[in-house]
Chain A
Amino acid sequence: MVNENLVKDVVKEPYKYGFVTDIETEKIAKGLNEDIVRLISQKKEEPKFLLDFRLKAFKKWQKMKEPDWAALGYKKIDYQDIIYYSAPKQKEKISSLDEVDPKLLETFDKLGIPLTEQKKLTNVAVDAVFDSVSIATTFREELAEHGVIFCSISEAVKNHSDLIEKYLGTVVPASDNYFAALNSAVFSDGSFVYIPKGVTCPMDLSSYFRINSGDSGQFERTLIIAEESSSVSYLEGCTAPMFDTNTLHAAVVELIALDDASIKYSTVQNWYAGDEEGIGGIFNFVTKRGKCLGKRSKISWSQVETGSAITWKYPSCLLLGEESVGEFYSVALTNNLQQADTGTKMIHIGPKTKSTIVSKGISAGKSINSYRGLVKMGTKATGSRNYSQCDSMLIGDQASANTFPYIKSQQPNSEIEHEASTCRISEDQLFYLQSRGIEFEEAVSMMVSGFCRDVFNQLPMEFAAEADKLLALKLEGSVG
């Protein structure tokens, strides 16, 4: 056998974002009941419609059952043992970044997030969310000149409550699923983006989510609205410290694209995945959905999923507008005892809609990596097309790779194509590269990166480079 152990060693890079920031935080008591929901709403000084929205969601959540259909096994989550609101203590209102606690800035600096506006060269506006609250959003003035609104969702509730009232919960209704209902009841912060008619957002927008406390869950909510003929590219990054307990993350992302608008949503998810024995790590239950409401609108999801002990995530597109386009590009890497059940849903409702799915799963160690996707052609989706491709790469003989594509068609004048394959890093390929003087680890990394190329090509430049590096690091020591 070619260097079995060597390849295994390649996947064993320690998690480098596992530090904890020692900062005073304000937390509420553990547990979840109607009073907690009211308390969160009160702390955020929310208008009545939002409190009602939360209470309604909470009532629905109480009646719902945690889903068990995914190919995931994890210990039962005690929803009463979670703190639903935790925020770093700071002055009431921050007028500029100088007033942000330097420790917080230092944290984001360590994570490589350009919060201080000296780093303008990167030309990315950032909204940084620490535990339950957004602590800073950069480049706001410049964006405002173009009419782009980019702020935390709490601020949007105060300053643009009409937009929030109009759109919140229209793509992912509170009763959509168990975790979406939970999020709707207790969501604390997140980002809000509004791109006005005809505007191409002058820079990439980015949110950075950081979980700091070990006992509080993170429930952020993101809402992006792209008006007619506008376009935006949005990036999202996530990290968390290493704790030996499991932290719950249940987020909701809603995208709305009107006529001719386009939204590109990219994620690099690197939550703490737990140690080699599977102790600790984030439970990541996320509902992401985009609505292509307008004609010729386009929503594109690209994601690199490398972290989390448990991933349950299906970014989807509702293709309502005529000729609207949905895309999903995903790389999901699982190692050690990680479990990921991820994929997408493409619901074709309008005529001449198109969707593309490219999913690459890499399973190493003893992990389980499943693709689960739904493609549905409704009765009115004449002339619609879907193409799906799911490839899995297995590293070692203990990891498992599953593919569960659900395909449903009610429209004869539409076409659906799906293909899936499984491969591994072959000894021949490794031998060939090594015989050309390429070191073993580099050879593995090259092959993984080649396997994922279709997806990396879709990521924004800097993300693509980061993703490539991230995979190489994560895979260090696991190929054999």
Chain B
Amino acid sequence: MEIIEKIKTNKSIDNLTEIQKICLNKLQSSPLPNPKSEQWRLSNKSKFSNFLNYSVNEKDPIFDIPFPKTSQSTIRLVIGDNCQTNFIEENFSIKQISEDKLVKYIKEQISYFDQNENWSDLLNLSLNCTKNILGLKINGSEIPPIEIFSHASSNSLNAKTLVIFLEKNCDIDLLQVNLGKDNSSLSQSTFLCLEENSSINHGVVSYGENKSNLLNSLNVIQQNNSEYNLGSLHFKFNYARFEIRIKQSKGNAKTNIKGMQITKKDEQISTFTKIDFHGPNGFLDQINKSLADDKSHAIFEGSIIVPKIAQKTDASQLSRNLLLSNLAQIDTKPQLEIIADDVKCKHGATISQLNEEELFYMRTRGITLTEASKLQLSSYFQEIISFIPVSQDRWDLLDKLLNEN
């Protein structure tokens, strides 16, 4: 693995940023995550090493997407060279975070990192030069929806980082799109900090191509009375990991998550979530759906941590899975770790195939089996897709999914 070799020897190279140096230092002692640890146990080893096989591309790939063009009503940003932040700074209350502040914040985050759990972030930050880190400070509530793109180029590994501070009383819709290319790897790390009374509708859509790989990690810190709504969709990646870590730092915050991953062929897509309640009166409603077809493998692991301080927490987590083929497999592990006693916590998990009775009913009404399956799938998808902001009017995600299934 070329990258790991590079990490091991990179110390001698000059002009590394301070953050790169810190992360490389951390990685040098154990450059790879422990394959026996809970977070990496099920990860397909050959696919993972394939992810690391591409060399790092610091040049900016050509931005060419299958999705709609910019419109007047949304702000579009592409992480990398072409990022036109000047224009936004002039027109909206969005500021780019100064490099000093960005470095200070990221350094603070790194100090909390766990080598295994945050391995994806460490890798991302150690590969990333400054131009691929976008830091924004957003203020006010009259802000149009924002679309932020991260994209990879064929035969290389691209690393992109996004840091967003949402100031007090701010309210935004944000859609993040990760685009994979043929034979490519994309490492995307996102850090969101929601200040008091702020609220964000966050969508994450990761759309790959043939043999594209993705390591996507999302770190969210929520202050008092903030509301975080996340709708996510991952599909068409040969290998993808989506790691979500949310910390309600003082409690009294609301988190809603609706996520979905769709695997076909011999793909492996996994979602790991860790929700940490660090104060009382926290709320969580989470649903994660997986659909596995052909020879693919879908994984979900979600943990909810409720320490003593987090009294009156109300958390629920549901993992719903559809297994559509004899050769596909699904692993799911929703878990609760609770110490506070005055809490309402529950989780559930189901694995099944399409409901036969419902299919039969539709067929007796003259709907063909293919159409009936499509109808069922569309209702299965719709719950998640309708939760992804911005996409609804402009992006026909549902059609895309249905046509491919």
With both beta carbons as reference points, the residue of chain B lying nearest to A426 in the complex is identified as B342
Verify B353–A394 contact, CB threshold 8 A.
no
Q: How large is the interface on A (under 10, 10 to 19, 20 to 34, 35 or more residues)?
A: 20 to 34
Q: How far is the CB of A479 from chain B (nearest CB, A)?
A: 10
Interface SS of chain B: helix, strand, loop or mixed? strand
Residues of A within 8 A of B97 (CB): none
Q: Is the CB of A415 within 8 A of B347?
A: no
Interface residues in B304-335 by Cβ distance below 8 A to A read: 308, 311, 321, 323-335
Query: Interface of chain A, helix or strand or loop or mixed?
Result: strand
Question: Which one of B311, B331, B339, B351 contacts A406 once the chains associate, using CB atoms below 8 Å?
Answer: B331
Q: Which residue of A lies closest to B297 (CB)?
A: A410
Q: How far is the CA of A8 from the CA of B348 in the complex (A)?
A: 31
Chain A contacts of B351 at CB under 8 A? Answer: 377, 407, 409, 414-416
Q: Which residue of A is nearest B340, CB measured?
A: A397
Q: How far is the CB of A417 from chain B (nearest CB, A)?
A: 5
Which B residues are in CB contact (< 8 Å) with A403? Answer: 334-336, 347
Q: How far, in angstroms, from A396 to B340 measured CA to CA in the complex?
A: 8
Q: Does A400 contact B (CB under 8 A)?
A: yes
Q: Is B18 an interface residue (CB 8 A)?
A: no
Instruction: Find out whether the CB atom of B337 lies under 8 angstroms from the CB atom of A411.
Output: no
- Among residues of B, the one whose C-beta sits closest to the C-beta of A71 is B337
Q: Please tell me if the beta carbons of A419 and B340 are within 8 angstroms of each other in the complex.
A: no
* CB contact between B341 and one of A402, A413, A416, A424 (< 8 Å): that residue: A424
Q: Cβ of A422: which chain B residues have Cβ within 8 Å of it?
A: 336, 338, 343-346
Cα distance A399–B343 when bound, in Å? Answer: 13
Indicate whether A401 reaches chain B with its CB closer than 8 angstroms: yes
State the CA gap A410–B292 with chains docked (Å).
10
Residues of A within 8 A of B88 (CB): none
Given A402-B335, A405-B333, A408-B330: A394 touches B341 (CB 8 Å cut-off) = yes
Residues of chain A within 8 A (CB-CB) of B352 are 414-416
Find residues 365-418 in chain A having any chain B CB closer than 8 Å to their own CB: 377, 379, 392, 394-418
Q: Is the pair B336, A401 in contact by a Cβ cutoff of 8 Å?
A: yes
CA of A406 to CA of B351, assembled, Å: 12
Complex contact A420–B336 (CB within 8 A): yes
Contact A413/B334 with A397-B341, A403-B347, A422-B346 known, Cβ cut-off 8 Å: no
Closest CB of chain A to B267's CB: distance in Å? 16
| Distance from A394 Cβ to chain B, minimum over Cβ atoms (Å) | 4
Q: Which residues of A contact B325 (CB under 8 A)?
A: 412
Q: Does B349 contact A409, Cβ atoms closer than 8 Å?
A: no
A407 touches B323 (CB 8 A): no
Interface residue? B210 (CB, 8 A): no
Pick from A396, A399, A419: contact of B348, CB below 8 A. Answer: A419
Could you say which residues of chain A place their CB within 8 Å of the CB of B335? Answer: 402-405
The yes or no answer to B350 lying at the interface (CB within 8 A) is yes
Q: Which residue of B lies closest to A408 (CB)?
A: B331
Q: How far apart are B370's CB and chain A's nearest CB, in angstroms?
A: 17
Q: What are the interface flags for A223-265 relative to B under an 8 Å C-beta threshold, 1 for contact and 0 otherwise?
A: 0000000000000000000000000000000000000000000
Q: Which 7 A-B pairs have the closest CB atoms?
A: A394-B341, A421-B346, A418-B349, A412-B323, A416-B351, A419-B348, A422-B345
Give 12 A-B pairs besides A401-B339, A420-B348 with Cβ atoms closer than 8 angstroms: A377-B351, A379-B326, A395-B341, A402-B336, A403-B347, A404-B335, A407-B331, A412-B353, A415-B350, A420-B347, A424-B341, A424-B342
| Sample of 9 A–B contacts (CB below 8 Å) | A379-B326, A379-B327, A394-B339, A397-B308, A397-B342, A402-B338, A404-B335, A412-B323, A422-B336
Where the two chains meet, the residues of A that have a C-beta atom closer than 8 Å to any C-beta of B are: 377, 379, 392, 394-424
